[in-house]
A and B are shown apart, each in its own frame.
Chain A
Amino acid sequence: MKLTREATEYLTVGLLAAVLLAFTMTLDPFRLNNVGKYLSFGFVAIGIVLTWGYGGVLSLGQGIFFGLGGYMMAMFLKLEASAPELPDFMVWSGIEALPVWWEPFYSLPITLVLIHLIPAVGAYLFAYAIFRKRVSGVYFAIVTLALAMTMTVLIVGAQSTIGGANGITDFRTFLGMDIVDDASKMVLYVLQVLVLFTVMLAALKLTNSRLGKILIAIRDKEDRVRFSGYNTAHVKAAVFALAAVLSAMGGAFYSLQTGLIAPSLIGVVASVEMVIYAAVGGRLSVPGAVVGAILIGFLKSYLSETFPEYWLYFLGSIFIFVVLFMPKGLAGFFDRLRVGRALGGEAR
């Protein structure tokens, strides 16, 4: 039986989700938690597949949205952890009253809404303004890079109200539930896999829809799409906003999984690393992006613990290798195998 490309993609996503769920039975809690951490970057990578792979818009600032999500979740958790006192870093800096913009984060529903709403609205308005001026390609990448830098500079400078360079840490309960014990980590992990599964399905649905086709058309020849009557700036900005929401979700899960969010996790370097997750997995493959995030995340933990001096050599070479020899990433590699077999071993 020959599967269509679309069916294969859905099958891969299902298989991936099954494998990730199977990890709960085979991995010890520590490793499971690590996989959960890598999966938070999987959300970001899916967003990058949509904007970069399909839309041709490379953002080097996804860390901004990852950070927004992560910080908002951390603010909620921190308020719960330190209630009825102020968060510890505020006390140390002599802040006496909670800043107004912390107030909404007492409530979980409001926090969850804001985690999605702020990145979506912010990203859409920013991107629409930029794209309407027909700034694209490298310039857009540099502007997002500058924004990522701005965000870290601002956070590092705001020691008293947002924790500065140390970030926000030391929270261990979620709605009164202990989130550091093994059982709740398991619950968290399963929840994350289920959300990720839904996101992957939705992303696949999008790429196979009319909108997906328009995105590809914009990537390949934006002028023609514009001449056909589409508002390409709106389409690109909408997808960019979607990617921002996905990044924010990833960030929120990251805070929950690791109990920490800090400027170094969301800055320029981290933001560029997020692109490589998608590039390694395959910039056109939704499940590939998640696999790329897990793979690079795992290698990062493994190499930087065992051979710290080789990690950067390795990461740097990966960047170069993928760009030169595997522009479609791992997914492209498997695709070629599949197509090769379907054509009776005859390579295209």
Chain B
Amino acid sequence: MSLEIAFMQLFNGVSLFTILLLMALGLAIVFGLMGVINMAHGELMALGAYVTYLTALAFQAVAPGAMEIYLFVAIPMAFGVTFLFGYVLEKGFICWFYNRPLDTLLATWGLSLILQQAYRSIFGAQEVSVPLPTWLTGAWEPVDGIQLPLNRIFIIGLTIVVAVSVYLLLYRTRWGLRMRAVTQNRAMSAAVGIDTKKVDARTFALGSGLAGIAGAVFTMVGSTNPGTGQLYIVDSFIVVVFGGVQSLIGTVMSAFAIAQTQTSLEYLLSGSLAKATILLLVIVVLYFRPNGLFAVKQRS
């Protein structure tokens, strides 16, 4: 294997890593920290993708000259809309199911079916895609033989921004402090005067908003259809569970491990065999470390 191929493999791995991480970050907060198992998380990603699509349409209609920068509007829009949707969802739906994990699983699965059908009724069953701004098409060629697609580089940058923001939000703000307090000890947090219900709703909304950003990113690498969310939900759960719930750094590491293994395997095996191998590997690792690869030791 030549050096160029090795480098491209590494880059592909990093690129997949950032996409997996974006997908899993929201879930790591909703499922990992809050313990809410939201099977409709994939549909929230699809919502973000559709919001991006709508923003692109709006730009095309109103300000075709500004198409170059529509992403900078679309990504915050995707975040904002799914954030609000998540907030409403928590207030009106999820809050009925706390402490009933298996019921939550089934009810949110039902919700995901309803959302899928809603997307199908509104946007049609066919795939929709958005035009890429010209500055994101093409590839950067630092040396001969190595081509790095610009959209992938953009996604890597975006992921870094998002991950750092989430870190700062959770660990450097009052809001994040309350979130962590409530997820670690609900009763005690309530006792010291934190409005736990409000924190729950906001935390869930934040996780949903992150799903929206992931959805916006999907439009840059592929097209969107009503079933898009379902494709990614199992992968996202695998990343979070593999990394160890309650551990955001675990999610990062696990996304990286899975992405690098998957791209290397895809180079050696067929795509489906690589995918199956990954899933089986994860199951085997979970057998030896039931709490995930990077579980934090704590009292339950």
A interface residues with partner B (beta carbon < 8 Å): 52, 58, 60, 129-130, 133-135, 137-139, 141-143, 145-147, 149-150, 153-154, 156-157, 268-269, 272, 275-276, 279, 309-313, 315-320, 322-324, 327
Contact = CB atoms under 8 A, between A and B. Distances in A.
18 contacts: A58-B102, A137-B101, A137-B102, A141-B105, A143-B286, A149-B234, A153-B276, A153-B279, A156-B272, A157-B276, A272-B106, A276-B106, A312-B120, A313-B117, A319-B109, A324-B96, A324-B107, A327-B103
A281 B121 CA distance: 30
B37 interface: yes
A153 B96 contact: no
B271 interface: yes
Contacts of A319: 106-107, 109-111, 113
Contacts of A154: 272-273, 276
Given A275-B106, A276-B106, A309-B120, A130 B282 contact: no
B108 to A, nearest CB: 9
Contacts of A149: 234, 279
A150 B276 contact: yes
A309 B111 CA distance: 15
A320 B279 contact: no
A157 B102 contact: no
B279 A138 contact: no
A146 B238 contact: yes
Contacts, number: 107
Contacts of B105: 58, 60, 138, 141
A318 B109 CA distance: 11
Interface of B: 37, 96-97, 101-103, 105-107, 109-114, 116-118, 120-121, 230, 234, 237-238, 241, 270-273, 275-276, 279-280, 282-283, 286-287, 290
B274 to A, nearest CB: 9
Contacts of B237: 142, 145-146
B109 A309 contact: no
A153 B238 CA distance: 15
Nearest to A157: B272
B104 to A, nearest CB: 8
Given A135-B290, A150-B279, 6 more contacts: A58-B102, A141-B102, A150-B276, A269-B230, A272-B106, A312-B116
Contact of B117 (A137, A139, A309): A309
A170 B273 CA distance: 27
B290 A133 contact: yes
Contact of B114 (A134, A146, A316): A316
A275 B111 CA distance: 15
B289 to A, nearest CB: 9
A153 B275 contact: yes
A313 B112 CA distance: 10
Which 6 pairs show the lowest CB-CB distances between chains A and B? A319-B110, A157-B272, A316-B113, A316-B114, A312-B117, A316-B110
Nearest to A164: B272
B92 to A, nearest CB: 12
Contacts of B101: 137-138
Nearest to B117: A312
A317 B283 contact: no
Nearest to A322: B106
